Amino acid sequence: MVKQKRQLQKGAALALSLLLLLGSLAGCGGKPQKDASSADGPTNTYTPPVNEDGYIVVTMPITLTGGNTAEELEAQHQALIVGMSEEEIAKLYWTNITANEDGSFNYILTPEQFQRIKETSYMSGKLIDAATNTFPAEFIKATEYADIDKDGIPWALAVSVDKKLYESSELVNSLYVTVGPSIYIGMYQILCGVPGDEWAAHVTVKDADTGEVISEHDFPTRGE
C-alpha cells in the first residue's frame, strides 16, 4: 500500500520539491484526525472502453504533470517497475505511463487499476487517506465537496481548518490543502470523462470555528 500511494503521488501530484515539503508536513502535523470516517465515496460510474490488449488508456494533460515533464514521469515509472513481475505491477495504480509529444501523458490501466485510481483520487481530493479514512494533518478539521454535478463529479472543495494551527505555517499549509487536492480532483474529473483542457477546481479554506473564509483558490493556474 505504501508503494502504491507513493506511485500515485509521483505520477500525478506536485513537483518533487513540493512532494517532499508536503510529506514532511504529514509526518509532523500531529495525530491524524478521525473526522473523515463518515466520508462518502464516489458515485460516478463512467468507465472508458477497454482496448484490444485489455487495457484502459487515460490521457492526462500537461497541467497535471506536477512540474515534471511527461518524459520524466514515464522514466520514473520504468525505474519503479524494474524487476517487478506482472502480478506485482497489476497491484500498482497503473501498469504503464507513456509520454505524448504535446506534453500530456497516458496512464495504461487494467480495469481493476482504473477503479482503484478513480476511488483513491476521489478520496485524496478531499484530503482523506482512502485506506484509513483519516486526515493527514491535525489542523484539518473537515472537508467537503462543495459543488458536485449530476454525474457525481466534484468541481469545488471546502476545507475547514484550525485557524491558529493553519496560520502558524500558512504558506506550507496553504499549499498542502489547495494545490495537492486540486491535482487529485483534476485527475478524478478526467477519469470521469471530462476533457483534459476542461478540468477545474475551486478550493475554499475556512475557519472551522467561525466559518470565516480564509482564502479561495482556482486551479489550474493557466498561462503561468
Q: What percent of the chain has pLDDT over 70?
A: 81
Whether the per-residue pLDDT at 216 is higher than 80: the answer is yes
Mention every residue, 6+ apart, whose C-beta is less than 8 A from residue 56: 47, 48, 49, 50, 108, 109, 110, 111, 113, 114
| pLDDT digits 0-9 by tens, 81-139 | 999 999 999 999 999 999 999 999 999 999 999 999 999 999 999 999 877 888 989 99
Element (H, E) at 202: strand 201-207
Distance CA 104, CA 49 (A): 20
Residue-level pLDDT at 36: 58
Helix, coil or strand: residue 206: strand
| pLDDT digits 0-9 by tens, 54-86 | 999 999 999 998 778 999 999 999 999 999 999
Q: Is the dihedral of CA 71, 77, 49, 125 positive or negative?
A: negative
Residue-level pLDDT at 82: 95
